[in-house]
Chains A and B, each alone.
Chain A
Amino acid sequence: MFLTMKVAFRNISRQKKRSFLLAGAIAFGMMIITLMNALTGGAVINIRDNFSHALGGHVFITGREWTDAGQMIMKIRPDANLDRLLEENSGQIAAFTRRSQAMPSLIFGSQQTLHMLYGVDFVEEERLVNSLVVIEGSLAEVGKRDDIIVLPEPVAERLGVEVGETVLIRLETLTGQQNVGEVQVAALIKDQEELGLSAAYTSRAYLNGLLGMEPHEYQILNMFVTDLDQVEQFARTFREGLMAPDEEEEQIDEPEVTVTVAGVPIDPVQRTEEVTPWEGTRYQVMNINQIMDAVELVVGVLNRVGLIIFLILLVVTMVGITNTFRMIMIERTKEIGTMRAFGMHQKQVKNIFLWEAVFLGLLGCLGGLVLAGLIALAVGSISLNADPSLQFFLDNSRITFALPGKDIVTNVVLVIFTSLLAAYWPARAAAKMSPIKALSSHT
């Protein structure tokens, strides 16, 4: 085997230009699929991170209960069982937030706009306070007063409001009554992460008041876990721990694809049509992977499209390799005859060609990976001023690339297999060549 490998390896360098072109064609295909895989791989990671950040966690718990009037509302009351679970699993929780939320009309003078408003405990949400980029005003008062609001700068511009002025909030309570409140603009902030997730913040107690909730109640419990790989197990612990004795486990296999960036990760009210009212609070526990399932579905399609392009390129390259190897076979006819005369078996002749194909494939793969790496480095260093909706795919406005090792191995194996397949018939023909005919050849 060593001899055939050695001869094959040397043969590669024999017609450098031809080998370079062949390997180059393979490298081009490899580069395309690598970039495609790495791009989608990076996008999945970015989307997950951006979603987590935007939604305030990796695991989201919502509570639902029925009012005496037969209305289902979304809220979580203080619950010893939930507190116990939080305490027991504190080692796996990096941070958690308890928020209320609404989509009220913000009114200033004759201007008004609908905008996402989170009711947060500014003292509890130190992480949020630290992440807000203040353009005007100050966050010094946010933990001390309830009737204040922190507005994204574009919203303030639309309303024509400035720091210190009072904005009117008009919304519906959980039970559907109209309610109005007044808040003072404490600060203007940069739109968070430019993710198109523009949200305003007020104190949870104040928003709860407007929604008809008690100050210590909330609507969503968001948790960041310490180990994202364990998020499914972590969510299951909470799901099982919070399940009422008479409650049937909900089917959660289907990802909730209607989750929108400006909304809540789930909308239980829409999912619970025609259900029998129950006593107390029922919880729904979602995790980031359930949202990512939908994203990964799209990414899977993209990767498959990439694979098809790659396969088309490979087929084109394969035709090139087959033709080249046929040419090589003709060029080396006399040499094949000589080797056969000295006792080289047919299989060994075939192996020389096949090893050449393997080396070419490997060379192409290596070239493709290096090229893809260089392009990824170059593209990754550019800060894109893209549409906010695209920012979800980016990491701090930069495209990132991530390619799992198994994808590289799969692509390399595919390239080698295709190269072998392309070289097989010329190799077989070379092996089957009669020594006398080969030696009589004038090539």
Chain B
Amino acid sequence: MAIVELENVRKVYTLGKAEVHAVRGVTFSIEKGDFASIVGPSGSGKSTILNLIGCIDQPTEGIVSINGTVTAGLKDRALTQLRHETLGFIFQSFNLIPVLNVYENIEFPLLLGKKKGSKKETREWIEFLIEAVGLADHMHHKSNELSGGQRQRVAIARALATKPEIVLADEPTANLDSKTGQSIIELMKRMNSELSTTFIFSTHDRSIMEIADHVIQLLDGLIVEDSKTKAEAGSIS
């Protein structure tokens, strides 16, 4: 079942008097539970596509459907609601809220919408996530007291806090060294397997994209390859 569908999507930006065709008509779908990677060089349209899926940008043309909801024409409130209920985000530069500690950063998305579950359940869930990303000892640390890898782990936990259907990660390893980057991708993969959350991440690192079971390759705003493979069991530690 497709959880994300893009149909002939185009995105044109205006830069001064010039028009930039970031996405030139792409069509693809991502199934629920996929660990999908959008691959391509800089300027190929990876981030634009993630932004469109993430409902933080709207296509110039075409249809973007998230979990059955077509995003075109939705008002800001509805888009915000959709983002909150369906999507989680992991950013290249982590984007943690600096005034909040690890626990509070992860709790943050949960406080934005209607309360689900009791306080105790919420606390247990956040603690589970912190444990899962291996930061139990850093629960009360602020972001500036963490390393890059640790920050990204917090970001992963935060993205999963609302139990979203889809987690979008825009080049999550770009600001990390290769070893840490690998461990972050492995963590995401584990979360994908354990929680059945759909992960869509962009990267231009070929070694990382190989871990994905669905790879969409872009070049100059167009899809050059859309391949689905099954990751071999045991490849994730």
Contacts and interface: CB of A to CB of B under 8 A. Distances in A.
Interface string A167-182: 0000000000000000
A265 B99 CA distance: 66
Contacts of B80: 340, 343-346
A339 interface: yes
B84 A343 contact: yes
A84 to B, nearest CB: 74
A342 B99 contact: no
A15 to B, nearest CB: 11
B81 interface: yes
Interface in A387-407: none
* Chain A interface, DSSP helix/strand/loop, else mixed: helix
Contact of B56 (A6, A335, A340, A344): A340
B76 A342 contact: no
A338 B100 CA distance: 13
A137 B85 CA distance: 95
Contacts of A348: 112
Interface in A321-340: 334-335, 337-340
B97 A338 contact: yes
B99 A7 contact: yes
B89 interface: yes
A439 B54 CA distance: 12
Quick one: which of B54, B56, B57, B84 has the most chain A CB within 10 A?
A: B56
B3 to A, nearest CB: 18
A152 to B, nearest CB: 69
B76 A346 contact: yes
A439 B91 contact: yes
A16 interface: no
Given A343-B109, A344-B80, A346-B76, A436 B56 contact: yes
B113 to A, nearest CB: 6
A342 B54 contact: no
Interface string A1-40: 0110011001101100000000000000000000000000
B98 interface: yes
Given A339-B97, A345-B77, A3 B111 contact: yes
Interface in B82-111: 83-85, 87-89, 91, 93, 95, 97-100, 104, 108-109, 111
Contacts of B108: 3, 339, 342
Given A3-B111, A436-B51, A436-B56, A342 B100 contact: no
Quick one: which of A335, A343, A439 has the most chain B CB within 10 A?
A: A343
B81 to A, nearest CB: 7
A6 B88 CA distance: 22
Nearest to A432: B76
B141 to A, nearest CB: 15
A345 B82 CA distance: 11
Given A341-B54, A436-B56, A10 B100 contact: yes
A333 to B, nearest CB: 11
Contacts of B104: 6
Nearest to B96: A338
A343 B99 contact: no
Contacts, number: 69
Contacts of B85: 343
A328 to B, nearest CB: 12
B100 A341 contact: no
A435 interface: yes
B76 to A, nearest CB: 6
A3 B91 contact: no
A14 B144 CA distance: 12
Given A7-B97, A436-B56, A343 B91 contact: no
B84 A342 contact: yes
Nearest to A9: B99
A422 B226 CA distance: 52
B95 A334 contact: yes
Nearest to A438: B56
A434 B76 CA distance: 9
A341 B89 contact: yes
A3 B112 CA distance: 8
Given A340-B56, A341-B89, A439-B91, A2 B111 contact: yes
A48 B33 CA distance: 83
Nearest to B97: A335
Given A343-B80, A343-B81, A346-B76, A338 B95 contact: yes
A214 B97 CA distance: 91
A239 to B, nearest CB: 66
A340 B83 CA distance: 9
A435 B80 CA distance: 10
Interface in B108-155: 108-109, 111-113
Contacts of B99: 7, 10-11, 13-14
A74 B88 CA distance: 92
Contact of B112 (A13, A343, A346): A343
A436 B84 CA distance: 15
B113 A341 contact: no
Contact of B83 (A6, A11, A334, A342): A342
A345 B162 CA distance: 16
Interface in A189-234: none
Contacts of A13: 99
Contacts of A341: 54, 56, 83, 87, 89
23 contacts: A3-B108, A3-B111, A11-B99, A337-B56, A338-B89, A339-B97, A339-B108, A341-B56, A341-B87, A341-B89, A342-B84, A342-B108, A342-B112, A343-B84, A343-B109, A343-B112, A344-B80, A344-B112, A345-B80, A345-B112, A436-B56, A439-B91, A439-B95
Leading 7 A-B pairs by shortest Cβ distance: A343-B84, A10-B99, A435-B56, A338-B95, A3-B111, A436-B57, A342-B109
Given A6-B104, A14-B99, A343-B83, 4 more contacts: A335-B98, A338-B89, A339-B108, A341-B89
